[in-house]
Structures are given as C-alpha cells and as structure tokens.
A and B are shown apart, each in its own frame.
Chain A
Amino acid sequence: MLNPDLVGRTFAGATRTTITAESIAAFALALGEPETHLAPPTFAITISLEQSQSVLVDSGLDWSRVVHGDQRFSIFKQLTAGMQIQCDSTIESARVMAGNEIITVRSDLIESGEVAVSSWSTLVFRA
C-alpha cells in the first residue's frame, strides 16, 4: 500500500535527460512514423515512465505487479533533439478497488523552466 501522505507530493527529477535525434528517430521508426526528426505524441513516455517507476518503487510498490490502466498526454511544446528535460512526478491520486491499488502519476517534462509535455499515467498494481 502506498502511504496516503504521498498523494499530492511532487518528486522533482534529480537528473536531466538530453533528448537525442537518435532516440526520436528510433521511436518514430518503431511506430512507422515517416517524420523521424519529430517526436511522436507518445514519445514523452520514454522519459516519464522510468521516473514514475523509480518514485513508486522507492515508495514500496511492486513494479512486477503493475499494469498500465490509462494514459493521457498534453503537449504544449513538441519535444525535439537537444532539449534538456527535467521530469517532475506528482502522485495525483491513489485508491484501492477489488484489492488492486490504482495510482495516477502526473509527469511534467520541463524544458528551460516551462512544461513542454504533461503525461498522466494511471497504473494498476494487481493484488
């Protein structure tokens, strides 16, 4: 069980991720996207999910029990090669349904002090 005191807390990303042209191209190619220099709309997940994982595992949750429930992106500025991204994760909600723990984490991908992409992941930790 997640400590309920953690709901609402923001965990600032300790390191910055530099987005490379290679990482965008590989992701775009995997999705069959012809514009391999532009980050596809779901590219932020390559940064946000790892951060959410480390926050939730550090909070005592078992990542091997996780299933992705739903996902949302708000894209304010398209991610491009060379951007240095800080990812801050906020645990927005946590509830228990039928023994499963359902946690929504918002990840803000911040570039030069402004949010470029917000990503909401609802993760279900199976009982």
Chain B
Amino acid sequence: MSIFTVGEVLPSKSYIINRASLVTYANASGDQNPIHQDEDFAKSVGLENVIAHGMYTMGLVGQYVSSMAGSSSKVKEFSARFTKPVLVPAGVNVHLEVSATVVELTDEVARLEITATCNEVKVLGMAKAVILL
C-alpha cells in the first residue's frame, strides 16, 4: 500500500536563500560564476541584482523531493525548467516555497508535479519527479 493517493497535495516546505547560502552552494558545487555572488558584476551584465544558481534552487527542490520520498536514495527522475531567476538582494532572506501534487501512482513509483515559488512567482516550470515507494 502506498502512503500517497493520486491528487494528494503534499505538505509545503520553505527554504531560505540569501547571499551567504549562495556562497556556500558555489563552494560546494564548484559553480563560481560571479553573477551569483557579486552585485556589481551581475548589474554589469544587465541583471537586476545577484541571482541564485538555477541548480541551487533545483537542488533545494530536490531536498524537498527527497524529504517527501523519505530518502534521497528514492529519487529516480527529477527535472525542471528555469523560468524566472531568483533575485537575492543583499541582507535579504528570500523564501523559496515548495509543494507538490501526486499525479500518478504505480506499484513501484509515484510521479510528482512540483511548484516552487518566491514572492508568489513561480521560479521553476515543468518541475517533476519520480520517486520509489
């Protein structure tokens, strides 16, 4: 028996993104692109402010999926489109709100459709995951 039902909306979780967390992610991932850390540089290439790494946002959503699945070892498929950059002004905690709906169940897996928003704006499109039951 699955612990999920089709159509079920899973509990939402909130993640904080700030300048310090971007540096931590940059160091952990190796992606040191200055648009994620240096406000002057970000503005010089036409961005409104420093933006979060798309893969950082997706990684936090991956943490959500892992927590819903019970373990990261149960995540088999994970995809997303980067539709809106997450702006991270200095001194601000940006809240990433993540939730998901169970759209399909088989004997082995659940398919999730995921919503990720900052300030009520969707930052990922077509975010989906397949988790082992």
- Please report A residues at the B interface, Cβ cutoff 8 Å: 23, 26-27, 29-33, 35, 38-42, 45-46, 49-50, 67-75, 78, 120
Q: Which residues of A contact B28 (CB under 8 A)?
A: 23, 26-27, 29-30, 46
Does B79 contact A73, Cβ atoms closer than 8 Å?
yes
Does B31 contact A41, Cβ atoms closer than 8 Å?
no
Q: Is B55 an interface residue (CB 8 A)?
A: yes
Given contacts A30-B29, A50-B30, A74-B76, contact A68 B54 (CB under 8 A): yes
Q: How many interface residues does chain B have, given as a range?
A: 20 to 34
User: Considering the complex, which residues of chain B in the window 46-74 have a beta carbon less than 8 Å from any beta carbon of chain A?
Assistant: 54-56, 58-60, 62-63, 65-66, 71-73
Does A42 contact B66, Cβ atoms closer than 8 Å?
no
Interface centre among A38, A42, A71, A73 (most CB of B within 10 A): A42
Does A42 contact B62, Cβ atoms closer than 8 Å?
yes
Given contacts A30-B24, A32-B60, A41-B72, contact A69 B29 (CB under 8 A): no
Does B71 contact A35, Cβ atoms closer than 8 Å?
yes
Does A75 contact B82, Cβ atoms closer than 8 Å?
no
Q: Which residues of A contact B27 (CB under 8 A)?
A: 26, 30
Given contacts A70-B79, A73-B77, contact A40 B59 (CB under 8 A): yes
Identify B82's interface contact among A50, A68, A73, CB under 8 A. Answer: A68
- Give complex CA distance A105, B56 in Å: 19
- Give complex CA distance A100, B62 in Å: 29
Q: Which residues of B contact A49 (CB under 8 A)?
A: 31, 55
Q: What's the nearest-Cβ distance from chain B to residue A29, in Å?
A: 7
Given contacts A42-B58, A46-B30, contact A32 B15 (CB under 8 A): yes
Please list the 7 inter-chain residue pairs (A to B) with the smallest Cβ-Cβ separation, ordered nearest first.
A72-B79, A30-B28, A70-B81, A41-B75, A26-B28, A41-B62, A68-B54
Closest to A80 in B: B73
Does A75 contact B71, Cβ atoms closer than 8 Å?
no
Q: Which residues of A contact B78 (CB under 8 A)?
A: 41-42, 72-73, 75
Q: Which residues of A contact B75 (CB under 8 A)?
A: 41, 75
Closest to A49 in B: B31
Closest to A53 in B: B31
